[in-house]
Structure 1
Amino acid sequence: MKAAFLMAPEGVEQVELTEPWKAVADSGGNPRLVSTSPGRIQAFHHLDKADTFAVDDVVGEVSAADYDGLVLPGGVANPDALRQDPAAVSLVADFFAAGKPVAAICHAPWTLVEADVVRGRTLTSWPSLRTDIRNAGGTWVDEEVRVCTAGPNTLVTSRKPGDLPAFCAALLKEFGTV
């Protein structure tokens, strides 16, 4: 299973990248770091700079057809930057149109809101996104992990780094790697 991990060049919450990445890799999958710019991305531990990671693929040079699923790690700055990039938003929408599974944690549903793919779906996120999700036509719930099968694809969402074990388990199940 080839999974795209979509991130902006700066601002991803490191653990929300590394834990799902490890889960996909350990299950025999092929995680690929996709970003809006080539080079390296800068991860964070909340507001402090953490490690950098090499970009494998660049938005605009790939499509949903190149992958089996999409993972959207959080962090506050990462999805805020992605939702302002039309090519990144289009790529997210394309995964939904193609019926491929998508997983998003913490603030990452901001990008889903921008792609207009939460209408009629139930999902969770960092609590501050509750109103944004509701205003976009989604139903927000406060749960460790939510798997929503309404619509053309499966959507896995979680609230925060503490939910990563449940998020990773649901992601692997829904992406067909376990």
Structure 2
Amino acid sequence: MSDELSGKQVAFLVASEGIEQVELTEPWKAVEAAGGTPKLLSPESGTVQAFHHLDKADTFDVDQTVATADPADYAALVLPGGVANPDALRMDKDAVAFVRSFFESGRPVAAICHAAWTLAEADVVRGRTVTSWPSLQTDLRNAGGNWVDEEVVVDGNLITSRNPGDLPAFNAKLVEFIEREE
């Protein structure tokens, strides 16, 4: 284990269910392997239900509700995908406000697959180049983003990827950007 992130906390924001498990667990492991401390945030306390596509997978304990979380406590924000997860998050005013506030702080925000829906709802893709699961391209363009089909896209403090196959590149960029944070 390296110490590049030396205990920096990284927020992982998810809804109560519908999270694509690998898009939560693989970036989580990458943060831990780099010496960071991942924390699971959600609109509700308790546990969240992850999925392997449409099949239920593991549950994970929530560390803090998003309504009580302070973006200043975290070096980066990760938004895992899954279809139902970001769809639910974009309907939660506290989650949307947290994403917007975090993005405006200039610290890294990383979203993969369908998670870009939450970015669109937070109105942070306008004028940015982003990628996502292909079915979101119209939504992201309508939100003012420039959608491209690439493995990983970095635009300022925003890191986006398309799908689980992009996780190695996504995780590498995430850790690289957190390492830069003072």
Amino acid at match of 1:86: K
Which of 15, 22, 43 is equivalent to 2:29? 22
Amino acid at match of 1:175: I
Structure 2 portions without partners, runs of 5+: 1-7
Matches within 5 A, 1:136-151: 136-149=143-156
* 8 A contact 1:80–1:111 mirrored in 2: yes
Higher helix share: 2
User: Runs of at least 4 residues of structure 1 off by over 3 A?
Assistant: none
Q: Which residue in the other structure is 2:140 paired with?
A: 133
TM-score normalised by the chain length of structure 1: 0.96
Q: Secondary structure at the match of 1:100?
A: coil
Amino acid at match of 2:169: A
Amino acid at match of 2:17: E
Matches within 5 A, 1:154-165: 154-165=157-168
Which of 130, 133, 137 is equivalent to 1:123? 130
Structure 1 portions without partners, runs of 5+: none
In the alignment, does 2:98 pair up with 1:91?
Answer: yes
* Aligned pairs, number: 174
Structure 1 residue 174, shift from structure 2 partner: 1.2
TM-score normalised by the chain length of structure 2: 0.94
Counterpart CA distance in 1 for 2:92 and 2:68 is 14
Structure 1 residue 177, shift from structure 2 partner: 6.8
Amino acid at match of 2:170: F
Q: Which residue in the other structure is 1:39 paired with?
A: 46
Q: Which residue in the other structure is 2:172 paired with?
A: 169
